[in-house]
Each structure stands twice: as structure tokens, then as C-alpha cells.
């Protein structure tokens, strides 16, 4: 007969399965992004026109500084808001064109713009506040608003106007509950760049109000005409978010920041302190090399190469597909009109069979529906092959829905 002790020990054995888990309510409506879902389901050998990152190697001076720092420095925490020397360079970079320059204490360095967006939303929006977002927009904005308990209100960047700014729609979306307005220029997913007239119209409408603007300028250095202006030149209640992911091809280094009036940056830094303590010390040290003439030169070369790839994509679309499209003046995206083939998510999923990954425009908002977002951040030969695969996929798709 087993002893009492053995019986008790038997009872204490840890259970092998866990109890059912109920996620927090704030994630109830949050799903894995369409880009990730498509990417995870793509067959081997697929061409990825869904990517939101450049394929260039990070510029050499940045990599060299990272290696030096790892070899020689004690890699500890940095101050929460980031290395003072880097904050100074970021402040100087964003002060170009401003009458009142930023100082280092107007900057909080974060783990990518993704974290800066989270920190800004949590620090600025209360439950019940209205947060104005462009439609279509980067998929994180409405999710973060939801997590903050705020209400997303969309102003249209109408597909019918080539995803351009529509002052009337913007004005209609404002109310006395509007707390924060998000602007993204150049835009993800459309690449649209807001003109200086559009920006000063927004500033004029909001003048004298206590509405704050958060402007996501992660694509500002990737443009194919005039360099985009920043709303910070026109409206003082502005927080600028930017980072090195796109302009220095440093997506994996996780380096971004928020810049603006110190009073707001202090609150964003408070949030950031409890979310991530500080951005990677190695990435911050390496980032100092981005704000040099060599760093800027590297961005110019990437921009020129992206401009060539944009021509390759547009040429291939016209030759192989003959479908309408919108190629923005910035970022690295083209919106392809596939409305004649049905809902964009069905088309994107069907195209996986032809081994090409695209992102359904509907994932970015109602104005994106009827389009696929195609990225030209991969090399020209792959872009051409990707468009050929879309052409053959759509041919089959057409017959299957007839
Ligand atoms: N904002 C926009 C508009 C983006 O497209 C992305 C990434 O694709 C981000 C923010 C996040 O960038 P980061 O790599 O700096 O977190």
C-alpha cells in the first residue's frame, strides 16, 4: 500500500495541461495582420511583393560603428530617452525648415516607429477620445487606438482622387471630441505625399485648437519628386515620428523616435520607460553614423535605386497587366486596381497559388478596397517576375469566376 507521503506527492505533481485562457478584452478584435497571414501561408519559392522593407544592406559606416561598439564598449542601458549625442543629431535633423529649432530634450528614442506609435497613442489619447486616421492607413494605427480605448474616426484619402488629401472629408471628421490627428506623408499603403497647400490647410483648420497632430514621417526620405514637407513646419502642436528602418534600410535594428514639444515628449518618454527602458544601445551608437554626410549619401543612393525599381514596376504593370494603378510620389508602394476581379483579400489569397505575395488594399481601410498594395523594395528582376505571376494568376482567376 503506498504511504500517505507518496499519495500527497502524487497529488502535487504539476498538471500536464494548462487551464483555458481568456485574452484581455482590449485584444478581442485584434487579429494577425493580413500581410503576416499571407506571408505565413505562401508556398516556397514565392515572390514577395508584399514586403514593407528595403532589401539593401545597412550602410557600411553604420555597421562598422556597431561592430566597434560591441567589441569595445560596455553595452549597458542608455538614458530612457536615448543617448544625448544621438538626440542632438535627431533634433538638428528635424529642425531644418523650422523657425524654432528642437533641442535634445525634445526627442525620445524608441525601439522603432512601431514603439513610438504605441507610446504616443497611450500618452495622448484617453478612452472615449476621437483619434482621426487617414483611410487608407498603416494597419497599426486603428489597432493602437482600439487598445487605448479611443475611437478611430477616418478621413478619406479617396481612391477616386488617386488617394489624395480631401479637405472636405477631413473637415467632416473633426468634432469636439477630436484629440489626436494622425498624418502619414508619404503614406503607407499608397505612397501619396501631401502637398504644402494640403498641410497648411490642415494647420489652418486646426489653428487655435488643442488638437494634437502625430505625423508619421518614416518614409520622408524616400521620395521621387520634391522632398516632402512636414506638418511641423505649419502647426506647432505636432509630434513627429520617424526612424531609420526605411531611410537607412535598418528594419531589424529597431531604431525610431518621437520629436516635439518637451511637455508631450516627457509623457511619451514615461510610457517608453515602462515599455522598453531604452532602445538598443548598440543600435543607438551605430545610428550616430547615419547623421553624417556618408549616411545621407547612402540614403540618396537607395532613393535613386528605388526610383529605378519604381519605373520597372510601373513598366511591367503597363506591359503585362494593362490595369489601372496609382504610383505615389514617395515610399515604395504601387496600388494596383484589381476591382474587376472581386474583393481584394480573395484576389490576394488566390494569387498565392501563382507564388506571388501581395497585400489586399482592404486591409488598410475602405478606400484601399479594390486594390492590391505592391512593394517595389525588391530587385528589378524579381519585380518583373512577380508582375508576370500576377498576370498569369489573374488570367486563371478571371476564367474561374466567369
Ligand atoms: N509607420 C509606417 C507607416 C510603417 O510602414 C512602418 C513599417 O512598415 C512603421 C511605422 C514601423 O516601422 P519601424 O520599423 O520603425 O517600427
Question: What atom in ligand 1 is closest to the CA of residue 256?
Answer: 15
Distance CA 240, CA 217 (A): 7
What structural domains and CATH numbers belong to the chain? Answer: 32-52+295-397 (3.90.1150.10), 60-289 (3.40.640.10)
Among 145, 141, 167, CA closest to 155 = 167
Which amino acid residue places its CA nearest to atom 12 of ligand 1? Answer: 113
Does the C-beta of 134 come closer than 6 Å to ligand 1?
Answer: no
Q: Is 137 in the pocket of ligand 1 (CB under 6 A)?
A: no
Three cell numbers written together for 134 = 487617414
The per-residue pLDDT string of the chain (402 residues; one tens digit each, 9 = 90 and over) reads 567 877 777 777 777 888 889 999 998 888 888 888 899 999 999 999 998 999 999 999 999 999 999 999 999 999 999 999 999 999 999 999 899 999 999 999 999 999 999 999 999 999 999 999 999 999 999 999 999 999 999 999 999 999 999 999 999 999 999 999 999 999 999 999 999 999 999 999 999 999 999 999 999 999 999 999 999 999 999 999 999 999 999 999 999 999 999 999 999 999 999 999 999 999 999 999 999 999 999 999 999 999 999 999 999 999 999 999 999 999 999 999 999 999 999 999 999 999 999 999 999 999 999 999 999 999 999 999 999 999 999 997 765 555
Sign of CA dihedral 199, 169, 145, 40: negative
pTM greater than 0.85 (yes/no): yes
Which among 230, 227, 247, 224 has a CA at the least distance from the CA of 329? Answer: 224
Radius of gyration over alpha carbons of the chain, in Å?
Answer: 23
The confidence score (pLDDT) of residue 296 equals 95
Check if 316 has its Cβ closer than 6 Å to any atom of ligand 1. Answer: no
Ligand 1 centroid to Cα of residue 212, in Å, is 20
Is the CA virtual torsion 168, 170, 173, 175 positive or negative? negative
Task: Round to whole Å and give the CA distance between 384 and 381.
Answer: 5
Q: Which atom of ligand 1 is nearest to the CA of 111?
A: 16
Is residue 130 lining ligand 1, measured as CB closer than 6 Å?
no
Amino acid at each position: 500500500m503506498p504511504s500517505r507521503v507518496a499519495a500527497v506527492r502524487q497529488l502535487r505533481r504539476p498538471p500536464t495541461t494548462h487551464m483555458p485562457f481568456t485574452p484581455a478584452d482590449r485584444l478581442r478584435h485584434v487579429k494577425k495582420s493580413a500581410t503576416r497571414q499571407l506571408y505565413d501561408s505562401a508556398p516556397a519559392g514565392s515572390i514577395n511583393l508584399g514586403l514593407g522593407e528595403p532589401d539593401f544592406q545597412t550602410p557600411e559606416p553604420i555597421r562598422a560603428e556597431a561592430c566597434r561598439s560591441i567589441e569595445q564598449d560596455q553595452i549597458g542601458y542608455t538614458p530612457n530617452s536615448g543617448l544625448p549625442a544621438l538626440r542632438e543629431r535627431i533634433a538638428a535633423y528635424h529642425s531644418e525648415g523650422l523657425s524654432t529649432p528642437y533641442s535634445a530634450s525634445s526627442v525620445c528614442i524608441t525601439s522603432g516607429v512601431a514603439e513610438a506609435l504605441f507610446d504616443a497613442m497611450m500618452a495622448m489619447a484617453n478612452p472615449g477620445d476621437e483619434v482621426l486616421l487617414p483611410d487608407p492607413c498603416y494597419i497599426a494605427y486603428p489597432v493602437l487606438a482600439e487598445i487605448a480605448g479611443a475611437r478611430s474616426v477616418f478621413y478619406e484619402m479617396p481612391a477616386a482622387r488617386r488617394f489624395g488629401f480631401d479637405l472636405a472629408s477631413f473637415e467632416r471628421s473633426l468634432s469636439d471630441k477630436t484629440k489626436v490627428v494622425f498624418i502619414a506623408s508619404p503614406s503607407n499603403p499608397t505612397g501619396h505625399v501631401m502637398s504644402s497647400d494640403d498641410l497648411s490647410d490642415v494647420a489652418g483648420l486646426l489653428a487655435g485648437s488643442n488638437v494634437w497632430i502625430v505625423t508619421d514621417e518614416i518614409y520622408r526620405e524616400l521620395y521621387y519628386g520634391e522632398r516632402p514637407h512636414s506638418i511641423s513646419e505649419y502647426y506647432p502642436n505636432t509630434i513627429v515620428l520617424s526612424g531609420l528602418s526605411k531611410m537607412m534600410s535598418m528594419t531589424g535594428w529597431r531604431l525610431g523616435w518621437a520629436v516635439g514639444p518637451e511637455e508631450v515628449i516627457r509623457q511619451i518618454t514615461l510610457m517608453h520607460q515602462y515599455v522598453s527602458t531604452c532602445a538598443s544601445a548598440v543600435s543607438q551608437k551605430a545610428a550616430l553614423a547615419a547623421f553624417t554626410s556618408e549616411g545621407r549619401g547612402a540614403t540618396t543612393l537607395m532613393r535613386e535605386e528605388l526610383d529605378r525599381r519604381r519605373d520597372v514596376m510601373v513598366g511591367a504593370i503597363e506591359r503585362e497587366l494593362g490595369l489601372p494603378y496609382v504610383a505615389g510620389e514617395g515610399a515604395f508602394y504601387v496600388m494596383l486596381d484589381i476591382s474587376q476581379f472581386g474583393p481584394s483579400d480573395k484576389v490576394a489569397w488566390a494569387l498565392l497559388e501563382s507564388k506571388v505575395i501581395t497585400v489586399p488594399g482592404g486591409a488598410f481601410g475602405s478606400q484601399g478596397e479594390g486594390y492590391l498594395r505592391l512593394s517595389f523594395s525588391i530587385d528589378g528582376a524579381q519585380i518583373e517576375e512577380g508582375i508576370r505571376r500576377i498576370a498569369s494568376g489573374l488570367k486563371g482567376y478571371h476564367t474561374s469566376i466567369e
